[in-house]
Chain A
Amino acid sequence: MTRFLLRVFTVLVIAFLVLPVFVIVPLSFTSGTLLSLPTPGWSLRWYQDFIASDRWMLATENSLIVGAATALVATTLGTMAALGLFLGRFRMRGLLMAVLSAPLVVPAVITGVALYFAFARVGLNSTLAGLVLAHSLLALPFVVVTVSAALAGFDRTLLRAAASLGAPVHVIFIDVLAPLIAPAIASGALFAFAISFDELIVALFIAGPEQYTLPRQMLAGLREFLSPTICAAAVVLTAVSLLLLALTGLLRSRET
């Protein structure tokens, strides 16, 4: 009996977690102008509105550019850092990890203020490059943790074996290490893209109107008027997120 009640409770909680988001789907296809259910009819007009709008298209373009660049930068730096932690076996490993995970611990608003200051000195506010650096900072810990987890299961004797056979460092990396941690690196890259694609608060501080990303543009829209175009944008954003989730799931099943 207890077990049955627990299962019912769990199903309800999972429904609470998963279902609310889907209310935006029918509303994005409404033919009316109000966000009310049931919808008066179905149409694609809000998606047309989304595609026809310069602001939404600019935001989409910015989000894709910044997301891809963040994935590149954060994955490169994060993988290097994870390899460094693995190879170096530093005594201050705890401290190094604490520094690298600082972007996770500091509240986003405070990170936003700090970045604004840092970027004001070097002219990176209101630039896409600044946004990429900022998002790379936020995504870095995720990449380090993901790649480190893959390296934890790596047999160090393989490195020594390769070195004793005379393989130079870059060959050891490409032929021995890389194939084993490639899925983790790919997951890290997807994580980084997803984090950048969803990030709003830091963008609020350092992005000008020309650098608005999709979440930033959505917020601007939400503050003005809750229109079905926002739902269409939210559906696009969510579809990309779920696509990334499916891709990581695929990677994980490859790993095992």
Chain B
Amino acid sequence: MRARLLAACLLAPALLLVIGILIVPLFFDLAMAARDPELRDALPRTATLLGEWDGRGLPGEAAFASTAEELSQAEQEQRIGALAQRLNFQRAGLRALLLKTARADLAPPYHETMPALDARWGDPTVWLVLREARGPLTPLYLLRALDLDLTPSGDVAPVPLDQAIFRNLFLRTLWMSVVTTLLCLLIGYPVAYTLTTLSPRWARIGIGLVLVPFWISILVRTTAWLILLQRQGPVNAALQGLGLTGGPVQLIFTRFAVYLAMVHVLLPFVVLPLYGVMRRIDPVYLRAAASLGAPGWMRFVNVYLPMTLPGVAAGALIAFMLSVGFYITPALVGGPADQMVSAFIASYANETLNWGMAAALAALLLAMTALVVGAARLVVLPMPRGVG
């Protein structure tokens, strides 16, 4: 019992660190995808009044009056920015309307002076947007992350085609991750196998070399690709020198460059588990198959490959989970059409400060990863586990 207590005390600080600064904040962060605090923070009385309004026609004078008063007060106290951004995100142009109204010198009756200042205050759908934004929760960010929108009447509708970017973004992220994972498996499998056929000394050197990039900063490696693939770079010079191309080819800022750099980063993660599994396979099985007359390809497909599947699954899982989160590599060596979800999360969080969107994309990215990994487990687990 005393040992248990001691053990728990030893574990506590590490668990506290992970739970305190990662897991709990992660939940708060993801919750921001559904929270809608801006209107009730900036215009508390208006939020209550709009909640009482039935949503038909225009709200009463009381709602008009509290909107005008609270807007001007929020403007004076300089806390109108978050609300302006929130409403403008739902409907373009509302930022300007809010700021204009907040700075105007309005007098009662407000249901006449406000539409006189700007005709949009006479538009019921503007009031419905405000009513929708009263919180405390909103499906808006999650819907937008799926290219859906909330109409003023509260229905869900697809966003206009020219604004629909996120479904493509998720499909692209998924696709690029799958391609990268497959490339890593196709390249890593024969390499791992060959390493098992070498003498222990050469195998150790080989593994050591495979691990070298593991230790070198991703940023340094990305810089190297930037230099190698530039228009006047060594790769283009070599291609022209060999007479393969007439002029310089666009290599950098392409999908090709992204795959090259991603495979370079992820290959060691795939080779290692494959090598670990292959090294433990007893060659006696292959010899038995050969003695029973199985040709080379049959020995591979029916005997060797099934025994290596745990390694394939482990390598693929690591490669996939790491690739869906890639950010810096596509950002630096890819073009605008090669960016992945992480780039958008970072840009919403760091540049436009739209935390709701950043959180919604993060939640969907995590859900997508969990879904794919879960599905892969279902497919892989029932297979024979080999001799591991």
Interface string of A84-106 (1 = CB under 8 A from B): 11111110000010011011011
Least Cβ distance of A157 to chain B in Å? 14
B232 at the interface (CB under 8 A from A): yes
Interface string of B33-54 (1 = CB under 8 A from A): 0000000000000000000000
Least Cβ distance of A164 to chain B in Å? 14
Within 8 A of A (CB), among B155-209: 187, 190-191, 193-195, 197, 206, 208-209
Are B11 and A80 closer than 8 Å at their CB atoms? Answer: yes
Q: List the B side residues contacting A222 at CB < 8 Å.
A: 219, 223, 226, 332
CA distance A110 to B215 in the complex (A): 23
Interface SS, B side? helix
Are B225 and A17 closer than 8 Å at their CB atoms? Answer: no
A192 at the interface (CB under 8 A from B): no
Interface SS, A side? helix
Are A80 and B223 closer than 8 Å at their CB atoms? Answer: no
Are B215 and A245 closer than 8 Å at their CB atoms? Answer: yes
Among A19-27, A40-48, A52-60, the stretch that binds chain B is A19-27
CA distance A179 to B7 in the complex (A): 19
Q: A88-B8, A201-B327, A237-B220 are in contact. Are A106 and B228 (CB under 8 A)?
A: no
Closest to B19 in A: A99
Q: Return the contact of A110 from the options B20, B224, B325 (Cβ within 8 A).
A: B325
Are B325 and A107 closer than 8 Å at their CB atoms? Answer: yes
A131 at the interface (CB under 8 A from B): no
Among B24-32, B90-98, B134-142, B374-382, the stretch that binds chain A is B24-32
Least Cβ distance of B42 to chain A in Å? 20
Within 8 A of A (CB), among B231-245: 232-234, 237
Are A81 and B14 closer than 8 Å at their CB atoms? Answer: yes
Least Cβ distance of B263 to chain A in Å? 9
B278 at the interface (CB under 8 A from A): no
Are B7 and A90 closer than 8 Å at their CB atoms? Answer: yes
A140 at the interface (CB under 8 A from B): yes
Q: A6-B190, A87-B10, A88-B8 are in contact. Are A118 and B24 (CB under 8 A)?
A: yes
CA distance A169 to B23 in the complex (A): 32
Q: Return the contact of A144 from the options B14, B19, B264 (Cβ within 8 A).
A: B14
CA distance A7 to B198 in the complex (A): 9
Q: List the B side residues contacting A226 at CB < 8 Å.
A: 223, 226-227
Are A84 and B224 closer than 8 Å at their CB atoms? Answer: no
Among B103-111, B115-123, B307-315, B342-350, the stretch that binds chain A is B342-350
Interface string of B1-21 (1 = CB under 8 A from A): 001101111111111011111
Q: List the A side residues contacting B359 at CB < 8 Å.
A: 113
Are A249 and B208 closer than 8 Å at their CB atoms? Answer: yes
Are B11 and A215 closer than 8 Å at their CB atoms? Answer: no
Q: Return the contact of A118 from the options B11, B21, B212, B267 (Cβ within 8 A).
A: B21
Closest to A197 in B: B217
Q: A20-B224, A219-B219 are in contact. Are A13 and B267 (CB under 8 A)?
A: yes
- A residues at B contact (CB < 8 Å): 2-3, 6-7, 9-10, 13-14, 16-18, 20-24, 27, 35-37, 77-78, 80-81, 83-90, 96, 99-100, 102-103, 105-119, 133-134, 136-137, 140, 144, 169, 194, 197-198, 200-201, 204-205, 215, 218-219, 222, 226, 230-231, 234, 237-238, 241-242, 244-245, 249
5 A-B contacts (beta carbon < 8 Å)? A88-B8, A99-B23, A109-B349, A201-B328, A231-B227
- B residues at A contact (CB < 8 Å): 3-4, 6-15, 17-26, 28-29, 187, 190-191, 193-195, 197, 206, 208-213, 215-221, 223-228, 230, 232-234, 237, 264, 267-268, 296, 321, 324-325, 327-328, 332, 342, 345-346, 349-350, 358-359, 362, 365-366, 369
List 17 other contacts, CB 8 Å, given A99-B19, A140-B14, A222-B332.
A3-B197, A10-B195, A14-B210, A17-B268, A21-B216, A81-B11, A81-B13, A83-B10, A84-B12, A86-B7, A99-B15, A107-B327, A110-B325, A116-B349, A137-B17, A218-B223, A234-B217
Across the A-B interface, give the 6 residue pairs with the lowest CB-CB distance, nearest first: A107-B325, A88-B7, A84-B10, A84-B11, A81-B14, A118-B25
